[in-house]
Structure 1
Amino acid sequence: MSQLNQLFIWIFEQLKSVVELFVADPGNQWGLTIVLFTILFNILMLPINLSQMKTMRKQQALQPEVAKIQAKYKNDPQKLQEMQMKLYKENGVNMFGGCLPLLITYPIFIAMFSVFRQLAADGRLTGFGFTPIIPDLSANHNIILSALSVGTMLLSTYVSTLKTKGQNNPAAASANKMQYMMAALFGWITYTSNSALGLYWVTGNTFRLIQGLILNAVDKKKSETVVKEK
């Protein structure tokens, strides 16, 4: 087992020791520990995730201008790239800013796959249920959890791109198709993996969904304030 796995298992054990002070049922102890770990991890990721969402929205808002540049310089790839980079720079958009959370979130997801598989192999999760949806945290083929994985992932993506819905945005449409495929992939991984991993993923998606709703509400309030001032 890698040192990273050992680190995560140690963190889980420390969090579980705290949860045990308030919860008696072993299944609920493990379930709440996974939920607590996921929330704490996403809180630590919050500044990066907020930066990603703002970058995505700026990129999507600039797509009409990007489309004009692409049409104008379609026969000159070098000039096209130069003008596109200039557009992003003038509007304070980092083209790679939206990739950083993915470079962190997905490797952590893979690490969690190994961690929960180890915990299940050690018998620490076996036979322990958490809510009626998860009768056994070590069991796989949980169709309800898999459906929740797909649904929460698509909802969190929808909310994060809500401000640009209805725009003629080919790049955004292509990105949406990619998100559907990614959601299906993670739904399949959730279905074929133990339920502990699915709980981790659904909790993280739900956190990001709520985060997106809050950010949308804040942006809406700012927009209304600007309109009133005008």
Structure 2
Amino acid sequence: MSQLWQWFVDLIEAGLELSRSATGSAGLSIILFTVLVRLVLLPLTFSQTRSMQRMQALQPEVERIQKKYKNNPQKANEAIMQLWRENNVNPAAGCLPLLIQFPILYALFIAFRDFSIGSFLWIPDLGKPDPWFVLPVLAGVTTYFQMKTSMTTVQPQQRTMLVLMPAMLTFFAWSFPAGLALYWVTSNIFSIVQQVLMNRRPAPAPAGKGKAGHERGVS
């Protein structure tokens, strides 16, 4: 293990110990730690959400392009990608906040080998798999709804991720420490609430040059 990675794991362990000293509970310490992580990631999540909202605002133009080039899918894809670039839209933005948490999950998995973990609610030991498989199911269900609420439009490639990602998380949580599943469920719930609140805000208007630039690029 590299020195940098060990430093990251040590930082995770320190965060868990700090949150447990504040809560007096192993389970609550993981929940508090998760909330702190999500607050740190909030600026990135906000940026990605605005990108997805711009994609929604551009959907009528995307549909117009698809209709115009219905006999030339390659040309339609090029025009749509150009439109998205001009408006700073990333079609994979909805999945990015999920993907960047995987290093944190792996660091938690390593940290839990040394971190003294206790019981929480129905779980006798958060360092072992949930004996009732409640958290693995919740991990999959909340992952699905987290991704669903973050997708303003669902592209074909996103439909695959919408099924594959929750299934993967359920499978992993089935055999991994319950503390990891608790982290993921808490993170998903945080994301869902955050997304619902952000969706109430008006979407940013597309760049004024978007349509004109598109017309110049594909005409």
* TM-score scaled by length of structure 2: 0.75
Q: Which runs of 5+ in 2 are unaligned?
A: 205-219
Match of 1:20 in 2: 21
Structure 1 pair 9/195, CA: closer, same or farther in 2 (3 Å)?
A: farther
Match of 1:105 in 2: 101
Give distance in 2, aligned partners of 1:32 and 1:215.
26
Shift of 1:207: 1.0
Give distance in 1, aligned partners of 2:135 and 2:127.
13
Structure 1 pair 5/210, CA: closer, same or farther in 2 (3 Å)?
A: farther
- The 3-state SS of whatever aligns with 2:54 is helix
Bigger relative contact order, structure 1 or 2 (CA pairs below 8 A, ≥6 apart): 2
- The 3-state SS of whatever aligns with 1:137 is coil
Give distance in 2, aligned partners of 1:82 and 1:218.
30
Match of 1:139 in 2: 128
Match of 1:39 in 2: 35
Match of 2:209 in 1: none
Match of 1:225 in 2: none
Shift of 1:87: 1.8
8 Å CA contact retained: 2:148, 2:162: no
Q: Choose which of 55, 62, 69 in structure 2 pairs with 1:59.
A: 55
Match of 2:210 in 1: none
Give distance in 2, aligned partners of 1:22 and 1:94.
39
Give distance in 2, aligned partners of 1:74 and 1:107.
41
Structure 1 pair 158/76, CA: closer, same or farther in 2 (3 Å)?
A: closer
> What value does the CA root-mean-square deviation take over the aligned residues?
3.1
Match of 1:153 in 2: 143
Structure 2 counterpart of 1:35, one-letter code: I
Structure 1 pair 8/84, CA: closer, same or farther in 2 (3 Å)?
A: same
Match of 1:199 in 2: 182
Structure 1 counterpart of 2:17, one-letter code: K
Q: How does 1:70-219 map to 2 (within 5 A)?
A: 70-73=66-69, 79-95=75-91, 100-116=96-112, 118-119=113-114, 124-125=116-117, 128-132=118-122, 134-142=123-131, 143-161=133-151, 164=152, 171=155, 174-219=157-202
Give distance in 2, aligned partners of 1:18 and 1:154.
28
8 Å CA contact retained: 1:12, 1:33: no
Question: Residue by residue, what CA displacement relative to the aligned partner does 1:60-81 show, whole Å, maximum 9, x if unpaired?
Answer: 4434432442443356566434
- Greater displacement, 78-87 / 207-216: 78-87
Q: How many correspondences in the alignment? A: 202
- The 3-state SS of whatever aligns with 2:200 is helix
Structure 1 pair 99/191, CA: closer, same or farther in 2 (3 Å)?
A: closer
Give distance in 2, aligned partners of 1:92 and 1:21.
41
8 Å CA contact retained: 1:12, 1:37: no
- The 3-state SS of whatever aligns with 1:196 is helix
